[in-house]
Amino acid sequence: MATSKSRMSREEPERTGPNRMANGTSNGSRTSGRAETARGAANHREVIKRAVELAYHVVDDHIRQGQQAAERLSAGTYTSGDFDDDLRICLDRALKLSKEWGVVGVDFFAALRRMAGFRMGPAPAAPDVAVETKSKRRAEVKFHLRPGMSRFNPLVPPLHSADRSKEPLNDVHFEFRDRSRPVLVVNIPDGHPPGVYNGAIVDSKTHEPGGFISVRVLEQDRR
């Protein structure tokens, strides 16, 4: 903490929010995805094969049953009681499979975990982008970059504040210096009004959005 002539003040925190990508253990230890993959890779295909086998056998049974039911329907001999029986048998099989599924479920969901690396939802930020802030004022930079964007030259148009009377931040860009990881450079002019400035990160060729960036310019200067 700092002490001015008149009073004490807190130190800036390293962060102000939780890390939702950690696994929540103490000491900040995180499960190694690579270790899991290495352990699971050997039985990954076997697990899926087993699961698919189970699934197919039920599918075939049901198709066969459905075909028989269809034949009887067309012959006018399929009754509601037959339907109930078929449904009950189907359920029994489903429950049996659920039980069997549970046996493979642990391994299956390990596979699910790895499968989820192929994203269906919002992508995590590219992991290897450094941030360089050039500013006399204290600033917080947050950005989200879709993986793959780093293969192009991501472009950052001016970042605007919700308060349109404030000048935008015009000098925010990516630099690729030698062959190291890309650097997000944020230039904040002296005396720039404090506030939050937001904008998209776009593909320089297609201009399609590939992420977003938010810069909070604080009121006080860096110490």
> Which residues inside 148-167 make contact with another protein, applying CB under 8 A?
none
Q: Fill in the per-residue mask, 77 to 96: x = in contact with another protein (CB under 8 A), - = not in contact.
A: -------x--xxxxxxxxxx
Q: Fill in the per-residue mask, 3 to 42: x = in contact with another protein (CB under 8 A), - = not in contact.
A: xx-xxxxxxxxxxxxxxxxxxxxxxxx-x-----------
Length of the chain: 223
User: Is 221 among the residues that bind another protein (CB under 8 A)?
Assistant: yes
Closest CB to another protein among residues 113, 173? 113
User: Is 63 among the residues that bind another protein (CB under 8 A)?
Assistant: yes
**CA distance readout (Å), 91 to 35, 84, 86, 118:** 39, 10, 9, 32
In angstroms, give the least distance from the CB of 171 to another protein. 21
Phi-psi region of 89 (alpha: psi -120 to 50; beta: other; left: phi over 0): alpha
**Parallel, antiparallel or unpaired: strands 195-203 and 154-155:** antiparallel
From 71-79, 114-122, 149-157, 177-185, give the range in contact with another protein by CB under 8 A: 114-122
Query: Based on C-alpha coordinates, what's the Rg of the chain?
Result: 29
